[in-house]
Every structure is written in C-alpha cells, then in structure tokens.
Amino acid sequence: MKKCILASVALLGFITIGAQQQTVTLNVRLKPIQTLVVNNSQKIVNLDYVTKDDYANGVSSLNADHLTIFSTGGFQVKVKAANAALQNGGKNIQANTIQIKASAGTDAVNGAQYAQGTTLSANETTLVTSTAGGVNKKISVEYKGAGANAYLDNYIAGQDPTVYSTELTYTIIAQ
C-alpha cells in the first residue's frame, strides 16, 4: 500500500510540475527619432537683385529638395533667423521682408501641410506639419525677397555686391 501511495504522490507531483505556467512581458519600446538635413549644395542661398525689375518685383530662389527628414511619427519643421534684421554696417534689411514657402519635394511626406508665404522672423515659424512620419522625405523651400523697391536704398557705394546675411536655423520636433 505504501508503494501505491508513493507512486500516486510521485505521479501527482509530475503532473503538477508539468502544469505550472510562467509569464514574460515583452515590450517593444519605440523612441522618437527625428533628423533633418539641409541639402549640402544649398547651404548658401543668394537672392540677387541685378535689374530694375528685380528691385520692382522682388527675386526668389527655389531650392528643390532643400531639406531631407526622417521621423518616427508626426512632426513639425520650424525655421528662424538669427536676428530680426540682416545687417551690413549701419544699414539693415528687416528679416520679415523675406518670405519662405515650403512645398513637397520629389519624395514627399504623405498628408503633410506646407506653409505658404511665411515671413522670416527671429522667432520660430512652422513650415511643415505632418501627422505621419517618413524616411528620407524631401521638402523644397523657396525664399523670396521684397519687391516694390524696398531695398533700393540699401546698396552701399564701393561694395559690389552689398551683402546682407543671416543664419537660418531649421528644427524638427515630434508632434
């Protein structure tokens, strides 16, 4: 009888051990990644006023595929000037006389919203908003200087050309 009880206990022990369960929690942890690269061949943008019509109508420079972005989700691209005015000696050109227009590049972000005719400022201005991410998506940017002879009195004698400049900072942030 003892053998029968021991065999039963041993058999029950094996069954109990075989029926135990353990759980593991598996997490897929996604960190936000946003990168923004300015096209290396377009790191200097010139708005050249050469003719009377240029001063009257303004000039523009369209930079196709100016920015390349990578984002793991929705994002915003913002731009700001280093200063409220572009200076040369004692003269200046107000940054807000220059417009920036973003548009889809050759490999566009699906469903993105592009700012049209945003004025340059020392404060961040949103150029592109998207609820979707993307890999190596392109954004074209057009810069347009003022017309209506706004810069007529900004030429400085002896300088050819007279150059007013500022650094622009582009930023991408998760949305």
27 within some domain: no
pLDDT band for 131, please (50, 70, 90 cuts): very high
Cβ(140)–Cβ(95) under 8 Å? no
Rounded average pLDDT over 72-88: 97
DSSP, res 157:
T
Question: Nearest-CA neighbor of 109 among 72, 61, 60?
Answer: 72
Report the Cα–Cα distance between both ends of the chain, in Å, rounded: 74
Give the tens place of pLDDT for each residue, 47-57.
Answer: 999 999 999 99
pTM of this structure: 0.85
What pLDDT is attached to residue 14? Answer: 54
1 within some domain: no
Write the CATH number for 168: 2.60.40
22 within some domain: no
Question: Nearest-CA neighbor of 85 among 28, 7, 151?
Answer: 151
24 within some domain: no
| Domain extent for 78 | 34-174
72 within some domain: yes
* Average pLDDT in the chain: 92
26 within some domain: no
Percent helix, strand, coil in the chain (nearest 5)?
20, 40, 45
**Does residue 102 surpass a pLDDT of 80?**
yes
Rounded average pLDDT over 106-114: 95
User: How many independent structural domains does the chain possess?
Assistant: 1
Q: Which amino acid is at 64?
A: A
pLDDT band for 13, please (50, 70, 90 cuts): low
159 within some domain: yes
100 within some domain: yes
